Amino acid sequence: MLAHANRITTADDYRGVVRKGTRFVSPNAVTYLRTPKNEQSVPAAPRFGFIVAKSVGVAVVRNRVRRRLKAASYTMLDRVKPGTDVVVRVLPGAASQPYGVLCEELAASLRKGSALV
């Protein structure tokens, strides 16, 4: 489970990452990355946020997908550059995908965005 310091919690933070971040599209998710511009104001930990709409499925399915993505982000936490904000917007096809596929798509998006150390 992600610690509180590793979660995006406010709507303003979500909005800022989605509007000003770089977008990477994969078959089951759209990942937005925002890296810090000023190295002196870098927070200590990278942060993750997840957007899982009702179009993905019923509450049980949405929560399963969210839990899988949280677990995937937790495994990559030590490799993500400090201060990076990541928002993952899940697409409806993710509901039928296994954990490994979601994990690999998240890792590929982070690699494309040069967010990994």
Asked whether residue 117 is assigned to any structural domain, the reply reads no
Query: In the Cβ-directed half-sphere of 36, how many Cα atoms lie within 13 Å?
Result: 15
CA distance 64 to 26: 19
The CATH number of residue 21's host domain is: 3.30.230.10
pLDDT at residue 116, as a whole number:
78
Residue 18 lies in a domain: yes
Q: How many structural domains compose the chain?
A: 1
Q: How far apart are CA 73 and CA 68, in angstroms?
A: 9
Indicate the DSSP class of residue 80: B
Residues in the chain, overall count? 117
CA distance 108 to 81: 15
Contact 43, 85 (CB under 8 A): no
Q: Is residue 85 part of a domain?
A: yes
Which structural domain range is residue 60 located in? Answer: 4-112
What pLDDT shows up at residue 40?
59
State the pTM of this model: 0.89
Euclidean distance between CA atoms 111 and 80, whole angstroms:
9
Mean pLDDT split into 10-residue runs, the chain, 117 residues: 89 94 94 80 82 95 95 92 92 93 94 82
